[in-house]
Structure 1
Amino acid sequence: MKYFENYPPVTEQKQGHQLGEEPYIHSSCIVKDSSLGPWTALGAGTWLVESIFGDYSYTAGNVQIIYSEIGKYCSIANSVRINPGNHPQWRVTQHHMTYRRAHYGLGEDDQDFFQWRRDHKCTIGHDVWIGHGAVIMPGVNIGTGAIIGSGAIVTKDVGPYEIAVGVAAKVIKKRFDDATIEKLLASEWWNWDRETLEQNFNDLLNLEVFIDKYC
C-alpha cells in the first residue's frame, strides 16, 4: 500500500496506459488521506477521501469514494458514489451550515459530525463489480464477488456473490450455487502474489477448471 496525505494532481492518463506497482491516478483526481495498492487506477474526476483502495481495483470517471474500504480486484464504473454525503436530519435544519460552520462565519466546523460520518464507513469486498451510477449508502457492506446493477441505490448489506439491482436495491439472485461460493471464498485467490497470478492467470478464466484445481 502507498499512503497519500494530500495528492496534488500531476499525471495524465493515456489510452492503453500500462499499470504497475505504482498506483495510477488521473490528473483530475482528488486523493486525500488514502492508501492505494499496486496495479490500481483512478479514472478522471475520481475522489478518494480517507479510504483504502485494494490491489488491482480501478475506477472509471467521476467516481466518489468517501470513508470507505475497497477490496482487491474491484471494478467501479462511471459516476458511482460510495458513502455519499449525509446530513444531520435530527437537527432543526439539516443544512450543511450546521456542520460546515466556518464557510458561513458561524464558528468552527462540527468535528463530531464528521466523526459520525467516518463511523459509518462502507466496506466493499474483493472482486466486486459496481455498475454505472450506483450509490452505496453510508454503513453498507458489499460481499466479495457481488454485482451491483447500474443505477442501484444500496441501503442494505449485500452478501458474497449476490446480484443486487434497483431502487432501493434488492438481491435478485446469486452468481453461483452455495457450494461453489463457499469454495471460491475459501480459495482466497485475490491474495495471490504477483508471481502466482502470472503463473495461474488462465485458470481464472474457467470456473470448472479453477474449482477442480484449487478447491
Structure 2
Amino acid sequence: MIGPNPNELYPNPAIRSVAFIKNCVTNPNIIVGDYTYYDDPDGPENFEAHVEHLYDFLGDKLIIGKFCAIAKGITFIMNGANHRMASATTYPFNIMGAGFEKVTPQLSDLPFKGDTIVGNDVWIGQNVTVMPGVEIGDGAIIAANSVVTKNVGAYEIYGGNPARKIKDRFSKELTLCLKELAWWDFPNDKLSRNLEILCDTDLTLEKLQKIK
C-alpha cells in the first residue's frame, strides 16, 4: 500500500498537529470519510469539541466526505443551537429550570435545517463557522474567517461573513468531468498510479481522460 494508513490517528507520526478525523470522533452522528484531516497545533484529536450543539434527541448529523482538509478554528454549529423564533421571545426559559421548564418547547417549535454535509476534497480555511443544515459540494474551497450560511456548489470558492461565492475553480466542462471521475473513490493502486495527473496545476480535460 502506498500512502498513509487511513485507520491511523496521525497520518505522519512526526507531525502531531494533523489527525485523521474519523479515528478520533466517538459520536455516531459525526460521520467522516477516509483521509479527511483536521490541522490544529492545539490538538487535532479534539475535533469533536468543534461540533457544537449536536444533541441525540434532535437526530441531525454532521457528514464529511473523503480527502477533506480542515484548518484549525473550525466550528460546526448544529441544530441544537436554535431557539424558538415565532414566539414573543427567543429566550430559552426552560433550560434555566426553577419552574421555567413549564415552557419547554416542542421539537416542532424549533427551527430544524437537517444534516450538515461536507463533500469530498473540500478545503476549509482557518476559523470558519458552518451553520446548521449547510451542504458544501465536492472540491469546494471556503476562505479563512468565513461564516457559511447557505449551500456551496461543487468546485466553488466562497468567502466572507456571510460567505458569498467568489468564483468557480474550473470551467463547467472540467467541473463535470471531475464530479464524474470521483477520484476520491479510487482504490489505492489506481489513486497512486494517477497522482501526477491529479496534482498537475495545468489541469485539462485531455489529461483527466488519460486516467485509467
* TM-score normalized by the length of structure 1: 0.69
Distance 1:179 1:69, change over 3 A: same
What is the deviation of 1:134? 1.1
Tell whether the 8 Å contact from 1:97 to 1:104 is kept in structure 2 after alignment: no
1:146 maps to 140
Tell whether the 8 Å contact from 2:22 to 2:32 is kept in structure 1 after alignment: no
Q: Does 1:59 pair with 2:38?
A: yes
* Structure 1 spans left out of the alignment, 5+ residues: 1-10, 34-49
- Larger mean CA deviation between 66-75 and 83-92 belongs to 83-92
Equivalent of 1:199 in 182, 193, 203: 193
* TM-score normalized by the length of structure 2: 0.70
Q: Deviations along 1:30-67, whole A, 9 cap, x unmatched?
A: 6322xxxxxxxxxxxxxxxx121111111123652353
What is the deviation of 1:200? 2.5
- Larger mean CA deviation between 84-93 and 177-186 belongs to 84-93
1:16 maps to 15
Distance 1:104 1:59 in 2: 42
For the residue of structure 2 that corresponds to 1:82, the secondary structure is: strand
Equivalent of 1:106 in 79, 101, 123: 101
Tell whether the 8 Å contact from 1:68 to 1:83 is kept in structure 2 after alignment: no
Structure with a larger share of its residues in strand: 1
For the residue of structure 2 that corresponds to 1:87, the secondary structure is: coil
What is the one-letter code of the residue matched to 2:26? V
Distance 2:19 2:145 in 1: 31
1:137 maps to 131
What is the deviation of 1:138? 1.2
- Structure number with higher relative contact order (C-alpha < 8 Å, ≥ 6 residues apart): 2
Distance 2:199 2:160 in 1: 29
CA RMSD of aligned residues (A): 3.6
Bigger radius of gyration among the two? 2
Equivalent of 1:86 in 50, 65, 82: 82
Aligned residue runs from structure 1 range 124-203, under 5 A? 124-203=118-197
What is the deviation of 1:202? 2.5
* Structure 2 spans left out of the alignment, 5+ residues: 1-8, 41-45, 55-60
2:4 maps to none
Distance 1:125 1:148 in 2: 12
Distance 1:114 1:56 in 2: 38
Identity %: 30
What is the deviation of 1:105? 8.2
Distance 1:197 1:71 in 2: 16
Q: Deviations along 1:7-47, whole A, 9 cap, x unmatched?
A: xxxx8996435x9999542xxxx6322xxxxxxxxxxxxxx
